Structure 1
Amino acid sequence: MCNNDEESQQVTGSTATVGKTPSILRDPAFLRLWVGTTASGLATWAFPFILGLAVLDRTLTPAGLGLVLATRTVGFLVAVPVGGLLSDRYSRRGVVFWAGLAAAIGSPVVALGLGRSALLMAVAAAVVGAGQGACRPAFQALTAEVVDGERRQQANAALSLATRVIVLVAPALTALVATVVGTPWLLVGMGVIWLIAALVPPSGSAEVARPERIGLVAEFVEGVREARRHPWFLAGLGALTAVIATGYSATGVALPLISRDRYGTQVVLAAALTAYTAGALVGALVIARWRPRAQGWAALASLACYGFAPLALLLPVHPAVVVGAYVLAGLGIELFNVPWFTATQREVEPSKLARVSSLDFLLSYGLAPVGLALIAPAMSAFGIGAVLGFCAVVCFLAPGLAALVPSSRDFSRR
């Protein structure tokens, strides 16, 4: 479970670094893992963006867009726990391959149905979503197999940094490519990227003990039981889920409205979203080397920074304050995510890691669409100000309550 070599690297000072640890970027196996996860992240991001371009060129209706994205989400949510189960039962590398291959096959089928059959697109989108969902816990567990404990936080920061760079630069690049090729070819290109995600990652460790075959439901229950053995994990997951379901959802709905109605321009919307990604980039760079004294408390305090986003939207402040709040939100979410993933990989029983990780993705990010669906009716019923105020309080309060769990101090039961 907890690696003694890694434990010896823990430094008590809040400004300590891992300068003596060899750079993870010199490890060929990690570089292959990095390419694979980056490709999957790019393809996952690209799917709704490309479909949005299809709506603009009128080859897809808004209703068709909603249907396709809905089936993609269903496929994702169903596949996340299944991917966790299969990744613990079989080779994590094998699950990555088949999940990526499914998404690679489904992508051009979506292109085939574009402008012809919304039903075909919806079915293919469900397959793509299943591939996206199944590979998430598999990649998380594969990282723990490929990277040794000393360099895992550095590795997770590098993986997260790549994702943030994609979000920052990919929209402009995709729009530029769209001026040369049509939307169907962009979807085919997305399938090629998924093929890279399936083929490039390295094999993991063969030393991980696979669970005895006791049935999928019983194995899933085992994963839940393992998660319950770590109070810090349950507390942190509850805080993360609360922040995403409230703060993330509220700002996603309210930011465009406030940018238009309060400030009279969509520049604030674009600047705030860019600031969030820029803050996350800085956070990934910082957390690659920063080792705070109480890492769990520092991570939870960083997560609470997301509360500044709905708070800034609530108050009549200068647009620069809104942009600054989004920088803090992005910085905080990354200073939480990387130690959170690293602690999960360190503390959870290796043979159950993928199942526990699937619970993380299923609850935290899987419930985000539910939050988005409820926020707009809540704003209509209670007003934007009341909802933003409530969400800000939840974002500040939930991580604070999680920090009260004793093992949350270091994200460790010891």
Structure 2
Amino acid sequence: MTTTTDRQERGGRALSPLRIPAFRRFLLAHLVSATGSAMAPVALAFAVIGHGGGAQSLGIVLAANTVPTLVFLLLGGVLADRMSRSRILFLGNLGAGLAQGAVGFLVATGAATTLAISVCACFSGVSAAFVTPAAQGIASRLVPKEQLQQANALVRVPGNAVKIMGPVVGGFVVAFAGPAWALGWDAGTFVVAALLLLGLRLVGSVPTGRGAVGDLRAGWAGFRSRSWLWSYTVAGTAVVAAWLAGYQLLGPLVAADSYAGAGSWGLVQGAFAAGLLMGTFLCLAWKPRRLMLVCVTASGGIMLPLAALGLELPLGWVLVAAVVAGAGLDVAIVSWSTIMQQQLRDAELGRLGAFNAVGERIAVPIAYLLVALASKHWTSQHILLVCAGTILAATLANACVRDVYRINRA
């Protein structure tokens, strides 16, 4: 059964998404999971650094997490359009919780190695491959179409609010108690979120009779036929790879070498999260007509903290850059989610969202490995500047695509 009732659909314009019980449950699951996920990047980075690893070890771990996601994302997209999305979310979050708990146990017992952490990261990546496409269409199942941007923004409020203090707290927890505690907390929140999401009871679409391979081919045809979708995905291939390789891989290392270590990196992540929250509230009040153009330009702001770290600016300037980047990124995320849900049918949203996710992530493991190799010859600061330049170039190229100006608010 679906959770959006006929009465809610008829009165959709008068209701707020917060008045829909299933949507509130979805928000609560995000809030619970975010309390742990906000600490996890700091904890994972310094867990690797703590056993003597550097850029190469951290790059291997992050690549081990990303590659399985890429391998299984398309299958996850097919299943999201055919099976219960709430059950997929339950199993995916449960698997991620078990993987993160295993990392915490290894770190706590002193048995953590790059190989062991990479194996756990691999299982976590598989879970993400099924969660990502299933989550893409949740809001469109829970609220009327005219409330989609508001719902997409509200979904991000609790997570972004927690992320403001989460990385700061996580940085100090890691500094004073060790990364195992933060990783263990993250594992527990995944399990609780899984139980909440299971209660949504979202069924799959009507089977097409084509089989999984046929559905995948139909999804690819739909993806290719929409130039706004594939052009944004191609640009995202460069943007996402440069961002994650710079921010997630090199950011903690530069913080450890040029700033005050885990504490300062926690402040940077907290500032970035504050920017995300600012972007969320902006989306609640601002409904631009040229939604696609806003999405493309706003996402380019994530180059700013990479440039600030690469230039070794004072920490205050890095924090300002992180706030601006976070605000732009959240505007882009909410805008893109709304575009996808308004422009695509629910029955194909999982598959087309999976193609988009694969395209944006396919270069990430390559970028991690290239950065790890380049770190032997270049400084982290020089590599960060290259990443910032890549994001700027890709954003400008995407802004030249004609369909960016044609896809407006429905």
TM-score by length of 2: 0.78
Q: Does 2:85 match 1:89?
A: no
CA, structure 1 residues 210+395, in 2 after alignment: closer, same or farther (shift >3 Å)?
A: same
Q: Does 2:347 match 1:354?
A: no
Counterparts of 1:178 and 1:379, CA distance in 2? 25
Q: 2:329 aligns with which of 321, 333, 336?
A: 333
Q: Which residue of 1 aligns with 2:70?
A: 77
How many aligned positions are there?
A: 391
More displaced, 371-380 or 283-292?
371-380
Counterparts of 2:88 and 2:175, CA distance in 1? 36
Q: Which residue of 1 aligns with 2:9?
A: none
Determine helix, strand or coil for the equivalent of 2:285: coil
Q: Which residue of 2 aligns with 1:8?
A: none
Q: Answer whether contact 2:154 2:280 (CA < 8 A) is retained.
A: yes
Q: Which residue of 2 aligns with 1:24?
A: 17
Q: Which residue of 2 aligns with 1:14?
A: none
1:152, distance to aligned residue in structure 2 (A): 1.4
Q: Which residue of 2 aligns with 1:292?
A: 288
CA, structure 1 residues 69+382, in 2 after alignment: closer, same or farther (shift >3 Å)?
A: closer
CA distances 1:197-242 after superposition (whole Å, capped 9, x unpaired): 2221243665x64342434333223222222222111122222332
Q: Which residue of 1 aligns with 2:228?
A: 232
Q: Which residue of 1 aligns with 2:217?
A: 221
Q: 2:399 aligns with which of 400, 403, 406?
A: 403
Amino acid at match of 2:407: F
Q: Does 2:174 match 1:203?
A: no
Identity of aligned residues (%): 26
Q: 1:364 aligns with which of 356, 360, 366?
A: 360
Q: Does 2:30 match 1:37?
A: yes
Q: Answer whether contact 2:26 2:196 (CA < 8 A) is retained.
A: yes
Counterparts of 1:297 and 1:49, CA distance in 2? 33
CA, structure 1 residues 268+209, in 2 after alignment: closer, same or farther (shift >3 Å)?
A: closer
CA, structure 1 residues 43+71, in 2 after alignment: closer, same or farther (shift >3 Å)?
A: farther
Describe how 1:1-400 pairs up with structure 2 within 5 A: 22-44=15-37, 47=40, 49-51=42-44, 62=53, 71-110=64-103, 114-115=109-110, 123=119, 125-173=121-169, 189-201=185-197, 202-203=199-200, 209-252=205-248, 255=251, 271-313=267-309, 320-365=316-361, 367-378=363-374, 381=377, 387-400=383-396
- Across the aligned residues of Structure 1 and Structure 2, the Cα RMSD in angstroms comes to 4.0
CA, structure 1 residues 224+246, in 2 after alignment: closer, same or farther (shift >3 Å)?
A: same
CA distances 1:254-305 after superposition (whole Å, capped 9, x unpaired): 65676677x7655875554333222121111101221113121122121222
Q: Answer whether contact 2:60 2:368 (CA < 8 A) is retained.
A: no
1:29, distance to aligned residue in structure 2 (A): 0.9
Counterparts of 1:258 and 1:61, CA distance in 2? 16
1:338, distance to aligned residue in structure 2 (A): 0.6
CA, structure 1 residues 355+412, in 2 after alignment: closer, same or farther (shift >3 Å)?
A: farther
Q: Answer whether contact 1:300 1:403 (CA < 8 A) is retained.
A: yes
Counterparts of 2:266 and 2:200, CA distance in 1? 40
CA, structure 1 residues 251+92, in 2 after alignment: closer, same or farther (shift >3 Å)?
A: closer
Runs of 5+ unmatched residues, structure 1: 1-19
TM-score by length of 1: 0.77
Counterparts of 2:367 and 2:87, CA distance in 1? 33
Amino acid at match of 1:323: L
Counterparts of 2:353 and 2:102, CA distance in 1? 30
Q: Which residue of 2 aligns with 1:11?
A: none
